[in-house]
């Protein structure tokens, strides 16, 4: 990955730590053994808070990069569909 960096979010007083790579993928999840004593609802809320905290640290450039990838994929798909459409038109003309 070019330009890789890692961002982190924490919750439950630092006992839950989520690390995300610059592309938004999970890099690491660190749980202090003390979280085992938390009620399930608190653990769930802490995980969500830590993920959201880490996501807020991601650079807007990551979103821009993703948007560019989607635009490139869409352009490629449009070209391919045009090629298929032309080929089908040619086949139908020959069949007449």
H runs (alpha helix) in 8-59:
40-57
Q: What is the pTM of this model?
A: 0.58
What's residue 61's pLDDT?
A: 61
| C-alpha distances out from residue 57 to 23, 60, 65, Å | 12, 9, 16
What is the predicted pLDDT for the residue at 47? 93
pLDDT value at residue 45 = 93
Residue 20 has a pLDDT of 92
At 31 the pLDDT is 94
- Kindly give the confidence (pLDDT) of every residue in the chain, 96 residues in length, as a single tens digit, with 9 standing for 90 and above: 456 788 999 999 999 999 999 888 899 999 999 999 999 999 999 999 999 999 888 876 656 777 777 788 888 888 888 888 888 888 888 887
State the pLDDT at residue 2. 57
């Amino acid at each position: 990955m070019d330009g890789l960096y890692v961002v982190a979010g924490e919750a439950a007083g630092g006992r839950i730590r989520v690390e995300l790579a610059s592309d938004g993928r999970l890099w690491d999840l660190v749980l202090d053994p003390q979280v085992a004593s938390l009620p399930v609802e608190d653990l769930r809320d802490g995980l969500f808070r830590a993920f959201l905290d880490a996501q807020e640290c991601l650079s807007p450039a990551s979103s821009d990069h993703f948007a560019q990838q989607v635009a490139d994929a869409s352009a490629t798909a449009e070209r391919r569909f045009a090629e298929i459409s032309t080929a089908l038109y040619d086949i139908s003309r020959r069949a007449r």
